[in-house]
A and B are shown apart, each in its own frame.
Chain A
Amino acid sequence: QSALTQPASVSGSPGQSITISCTGTSSDVGGYNYVSWYQQHPGKAPKLMIYEVSNRPSGVSNRFSGSKSGNTASLTISGLQAEDEADYYCSSYTSSSINWVFGGGTKLTVL
């Protein structure tokens, strides 16, 4: 069982927007603005897409955005494209002894 809870799957049609949620506790997501999101295509390493809740690294499309409310963080992808089909993982710093925790991952299908 992962420390952060994500839906197992989401789907959307090209051009639409989707949102993936990531629920934790006040010891991780709710307690720090250190939430990050990773995109992972099959057989590839994860890629950082969002850091510190809502910031995009250089080179990441502005179609990707992040937010947080209480103990739940969200990743929104607008203008869905076929290349967005991948697994997405959230992660947070945590005050527990583990330091970093991940969500179980969400499979995004572009219909």
Chain B
Amino acid sequence: QVQLQESGPGLVKPSGTLSLTCAVSGGSISSSNWWSWIRQPPGKGLEWIGEIYHSGSTNYNPSLKSRVTISVDKSKNQFSLKLSSVTAADTAVYYCAREYGSRGMDVWGKGTTVTVSS
């Protein structure tokens, strides 16, 4: 079955850029699914960041849109997140997930913790 694995630096300096990758295994990123990034600050709820289709089409949360870029690499079967100008408020566990149409997110990665600190 499809599995997702996030990877990237666990520590990012303030004003820097957070960069994460989600590797897709057991299936193709070119399937008829959108692929999402979601984050969860410590002790808080879930926040949808954005999504991408294998064609490269994207949708972003308006509250983050000016700082977010999500891209796809079909040759590596993975998609990526870049979040610029980070502050301590961007400290969170970042999850990648597969959207199964209107069903929501049916497959999730284990999550990766990113701390913004100098």
Contacts and interface: CB of A to CB of B under 8 A. Distances in A.
Contact of A36 (B51, B61, B105, B109): B105
Interface in B69-118: 95, 100, 102-106, 108-111
B46 interface: yes
Identify which of B59, B102, B106 gathers the most chain A CB atoms within 10 Å of its CB: B102
Nearest to B4: A45
Nearest to A55: B103
A47 B108 contact: yes
8 contacts: A36-B103, A45-B95, A45-B111, A46-B46, A48-B106, A57-B106, A99-B61, A101-B48
Ordered nearest first, which 7 A-B pairs have the shortest CB separation?
A: A36-B104, A51-B103, A45-B108, A100-B48, A102-B46, A34-B102, A105-B45
Interface of B: 36, 45-48, 51, 59, 61-63, 95, 100, 102-106, 108-111
Interface of A: 2, 32-34, 36, 38, 44-48, 51-52, 55, 57, 89, 91, 93, 97-105
